[in-house]
Chains A and B, each alone.
Chain A
Amino acid sequence: MNQHNQSFSGGVFHPSIPGGRAGAEITINRGEIIAYTQCDGQPVFSIPINQCQLDLGGASGRMLFCRTPDGQLTIFSEDKHFAQALDLHSGGLLGNQINTLKRAVRSESKKLGFWILASSLACALILFIGYFAMLWAAKATIASLPISIDEKIGKLALDSMDVGKRLDSAHPASKLVQSIVDKLQPHAAIPNMKFKVIVVEDPQVNAFALPGGQIVVFTGLIREATSAEQIAGVLAHEMSHATLRHGLQSVSQSLGIVAAIQLFVGDIGGLVALGAQIAQQSILTSYSRTSETEADLEGARMLHAAKIDPQAMAEFFGLLKEKEGDIPDAIAWISTHPQHSTRIENIKNHQKSFPATQYEPLDLNLKEAQEAL
């Protein structure tokens, strides 16, 4: 490109122009900055480069002003190549001035960058705090709701679920499980919660609690257990889910905070149905890791209070660990259930905080129940 023919759009300030200002096409030629105006008479203005004083400004902050030393004439342009061309044509005369301006621009953009970073960090912090504040608010809201909501959600969820073949309540296995629940019930965190056990024929070694106190136990679990205390351990864990109201917490997290607030304010009917649906899909299969740990510890407390050795719960996890093997660490970290070994450790540590008690073995015939299955 021929540098001498390069022209930049800009303007001129001079007292001789009507209104003091006119738009102009600017070129740099033979050591002069020349502005060809478009106003009446089309006057031409020029500033020798060696007398030029540079300044930055304008609405964008990137407009380059060239002034005569007396300040009478100013030629300006916002073209980003203008400064470059000036530097090139000045033969180093304006180098210092241009460098000073460049530094000013750089420090300003650095300052801007700092503010952008600082404000985005502040936004992130507010969001972060807001999220936990809302979780806390949801928890507090749930604590203030009546248990009847848990019961409604639990009942609806169970009614619409196909759990499998239920054992008769007169079945020895059902009787065994119910008598353990009856023993644990007085020590539950919510004294008036009605616990009801349903034993379902299924080879899975599993049990789950529904909001409101209904507990489903699979026959696989009863078969695998080596002592009634182990079953008591699992039941205490599941009962704790119900008394700690983890079901409603998951519902509120799934429905969002808005729904939790709506629950608090009123309009419960529709939410109960929706809650039941969500309960079925998510809660029962996976509570959060925090909820699982909470239920472990609360379960251990219940067992201790009922004079059943909480060690049985740890024992059962040990049994599961033997059967399933521990989940590889990396996966366990993201999976919802804590590692069996971590759970055993937690229960053992928690047990140390309890006052020493003489634990009593359960007077129940597990063998008979297992044989009846």
Chain B
Amino acid sequence: MRHEMLCQPASTAVQFKLDQGESLTCEVGAMIAMSSGLSVQTTSKSRGGGGGIVKGLKRMFSGESFFLNHFTAEAPEQTLLIGPTMLGDCVHHAMRGGTVIVQGSSWLASSPDIDIDTSWQGFTSAFFSGESMFWVKCSGQGDLFLSSYGAIHCIEIDGTYTIDTGHIVAFEDTLKFNIGKASRSLIGSFLGGEGLVCKFQGQGKLYYQSHTPPALGALLGPKLKPK
């Protein structure tokens, strides 16, 4: 399976070339276009039978869909084009064992060998980070595709790193994050417009996005006419 990022960075779509027998698991509704030799299977299970209804329900809690779409090439040289819901970039992360924790709705697609589960991030993280209480946990070996709202950036953290709440796309499970104040005083943090921030600690990759959907909503919402 080969992939190519098209129209980067504002309206990125990922184009896959699949050989006969190869397959890809995608978020429901991610498909933009595909060639005729691909079969689509929609289930709540991972390919190969893992998971099921419970995992599907757990996925829903994390902001993903109950169902997954599995695309399988039944003829050689098939093309599949997928893209995220919001305007923004996509990124490829090669997994060599281990786990990546993805913010709900940022998971776009992954190889069938990658297990997609949900992990609980706790109340405090959810209340203060502006993220969901449940996150998507991807583990195994293979390719993982993430989407963002706005541009996506990757940083290799070794030590500590601070990121504003709501900007997290994904991070490796070797990283730990705490919610903290942006500046030393709480009042200063809020006056500075930063409020609370996520402080990462450890070693690993962190993906973050340049924009956050709630910020757009907060800007547009008051200007919309009531129905």
Residues of A within 8 A of B (CB): 11, 13, 17-24, 37-39, 57-61, 63, 65, 74, 76, 78
Contacts and interface: CB of A to CB of B under 8 A. Distances in A.
A61 B119 CA distance: 14
A23 B175 CA distance: 15
B14 interface: no
Contact of A19 (B96, B99, B101, B174): B96
A19 B176 contact: no
A20 B97 contact: no
Interface residues of B, number: 21
Given A23-B141, A76-B174, A58 B98 contact: no
A-B residue pairs, 5 tightest by C-beta: A23-B97, A22-B96, A57-B202, A59-B173, A11-B98
B144 to A, nearest CB: 12
Contacts of A13: 174, 203
Interface string B206-227: 0000000000000000000000
B176 A57 contact: yes
B200 to A, nearest CB: 10
Contacts of B79: none
Contacts of B205: 21
A82 to B, nearest CB: 14
Interface in B96-152: 96-99, 101, 119, 141
B174 A23 contact: no
Given A23-B98, A58-B202, 6 more contacts: A11-B97, A13-B203, A18-B96, A37-B96, A59-B176, A76-B174
**Interface hub of A37, A58, A63, A78 (most chain B Cβ within 10 A):** A58
A204 B21 CA distance: 90
B204 interface: yes
A180 B204 CA distance: 89
27 contacts: A11-B174, A13-B174, A17-B96, A18-B96, A19-B94, A19-B96, A21-B174, A21-B204, A21-B205, A22-B96, A22-B97, A38-B96, A38-B141, A39-B96, A39-B97, A57-B175, A57-B176, A58-B173, A58-B176, A59-B119, A59-B171, A59-B173, A59-B174, A59-B176, A65-B174, A74-B203, A76-B174
Nearest to B178: A61
A63 B97 contact: no
B194 interface: no
Interface string B171-195: 1111111000000000000000000
A37 B176 contact: no
Given A23-B141, A58-B202, A38 B97 contact: yes
B4 interface: no
B175 to A, nearest CB: 6
B11 interface: no
Contacts of A39: 96-97
Contacts of B204: 21
> For chain B, what secondary structure do more than half of its interface residues adopt (helix, strand, loop), or is it mixed?
strand
Nearest to A67: B203
Contacts of B156: 20
A58 B204 CA distance: 9
A59 B101 contact: yes
A76 B203 CA distance: 11
Interface of B: 94, 96-99, 101, 119, 141, 156, 171-177, 201-205
Nearest to B203: A13
Contacts of B201: 57
Contacts of A59: 99, 101, 119, 171, 173-177
A60 B120 CA distance: 10
Contacts of A37: 96-97
Nearest to B202: A57
A286 B195 CA distance: 55
Contacts of A60: 173
Contacts of B171: 59
A79 to B, nearest CB: 13
B36 to A, nearest CB: 34
A309 B175 CA distance: 81
Contacts of B203: 13, 65, 74
Contacts of B141: 23, 38
A78 B175 CA distance: 12
A23 B94 CA distance: 12
A365 B87 CA distance: 94
Contact of A63 (B94, B101, B119, B173): B173
Nearest to B137: A59
A78 B203 CA distance: 14
B174 A24 contact: no
Contacts of A22: 96-98
B153 to A, nearest CB: 16
A11 B156 CA distance: 16
Contacts of B96: 17-19, 21-23, 37-39
Nearest to A60: B173
B92 to A, nearest CB: 11
B186 to A, nearest CB: 17
A119 to B, nearest CB: 9
A61 B97 contact: no
**Interface hub of B97, B141, B173 (most chain A Cβ within 10 A):** B97
B77 to A, nearest CB: 25
B98 A21 contact: yes
